[in-house]
Amino acid sequence: MFPTPLRKMREALGARLPRVAVGIDVGQTTLRVAALRRGRSGIELSGLASAALSGTGLQFEAVMLRETVRRACRRVDWLPRRVAMGVPAGMVLVRPLQVPADADTEEVGDEVDRSARLLPVPPAALRLAWAPLPHPPVATGALPAQRTLLMVAARREAVLARQHLAALAGLGRVTVDVDIFAALRGSAPTGEGEGTSAAASLLVDAGADAICAMAWSAGQAPAIRVLPVLPQCPVEDLSAAVADAVRGLSPASAGLPGVMVLAGARAIEGGLAEAVEVRTGAVCRLAEPFIGLAGQGGAVGLPPADAAGWAVAVGLARKALA
């Protein structure tokens, strides 16, 4: 089909339009979609939408995903989109790497490949990515001899499953991120771009069927632990699982400050924060993914207690926006 003048005009206009960033959190029982865009007053929340997943098959999920994205983007349906989806942290391995400070991209890639061969999973079954970690302060005028990278190795089938679902839903190309990293990005973002979390160094994502705990500190690779939980288990059992997951992060969790951020669908359950505080001694607070967003869009009327469940979706949208 030959391009028409109208089509050329639309393509030229689309290249100049601000894009809508769509974050898709596919949970065990719930699908959450957040849409963000850059506006005159900063990052704006364009819309939110959610849907229940009944587990009736991939085609059903694709239809639900397409309709949920459409509802989240109904205010900005005419704008082009960038989409990010999350994979469970249980499908990911993370390792710190030390490389020379002057290493180029090819040398870094070679080191990542060598490290991947040491993992307990064959490299052919993995998708690899890496990112720099902030290095500790050095003396004025001195240059660090090495820099630390974080290697992220995700199971290939998990990444392909997300991409296949997006293709069935007609969403095109998607960026794939780890859900616990997205929860961190969306837990209390400030400023522009990727956003940064609050000063807390412990994050717990309480999902419908799993607890994911992550501890980190400047210049160090994060420690991640995932524990399964029974759906709809009592709060007492859920708090025990959170405490076990946190203790399992040792030694990364040794000497943690007394602040723990709770995100995820079950973070808002009554009495959970208090029960976790009793078991761990940490002060718990709920993730606040809508802080710093202008326009509020579909978040108008959203109960504040429900906000923590949107941390992953908002964090994924911020990833797509960067």
Residue 197 lies in a domain: no
H-only helix segments in the chain: 5-16, 58-72, 105-116, 156-168, 179-187, 235-247, 272-280, 311-321
> Residues 106, 74: one domain?
no
- What CATH number should be reported for the domain holding residue 142? 3.30.1490.300
Tokens of 9: 């005009």
**Phi then psi dihedrals of residue 303, to 5 deg:** -60, 130
pLDDT at position 231, please?
Answer: 87
> Residues 74, 168: one domain?
yes
Tokens of 117: 């061969």
Count the neighbouring beta carbons within 10 Å of the beta carbon of residue 96: 14
List CB contacts of 25: < 8 A, sequence separation 6 or more: 31, 32, 33, 34, 86, 179, 182, 310, 312, 313, 316
Q: pLDDT tens for residues 158-204?
A: 999 999 999 999 998 899 999 999 999 998 654 443 433 444 488 99
Residue 193 lies in a domain: no
> Residues 163, 307: one domain?
yes
Residue 196 lies in a domain: no
Q: Residue 99 and residue 93: Cα distance in Å, rounded? A: 19
List CB contacts of 152: < 8 A, sequence separation 6 or more: 92, 93, 94, 128, 129, 130, 131, 178
In the chain, helix, strand, coil percent, each to 5? 35, 30, 35
> Residues 41, 183: one domain?
yes
> Residues 36, 71: one domain?
yes
Closest to 195 (Cα-Cα) out of 85, 320, 60, 285: 320
pLDDT at position 295, please?
Answer: 64
**Phi then psi dihedrals of residue 165, to 5 deg:** -60, -45
> Residues 162, 47: one domain?
yes
Q: How many structural domains comprise the chain?
A: 3
> Residues 17, 121: one domain?
no
Residue 192 lies in a domain: no
> Residues 43, 81: one domain?
yes
> Residues 313, 212: one domain?
no
Q: pLDDT tens for residues 64-115?
A: 999 999 999 987 777 788 999 999 999 999 988 888 888 888 999 999 999 9
- For the chain, the straight-line distance linking the first and the last C-alpha, in angstroms and rounded, comes to 34
> Residues 296, 166: one domain?
yes
pLDDT at position 143, please?
Answer: 57
- Taking the model in full, what pTM does it have? 0.86
Domain range holding 110?
Answer: 92-154
Q: pLDDT tens for residues 232-267?
A: 899 999 999 999 999 888 655 555 557 899 999 999
> Residues 75, 100: one domain?
no
Mean pLDDT of 118-143: 77
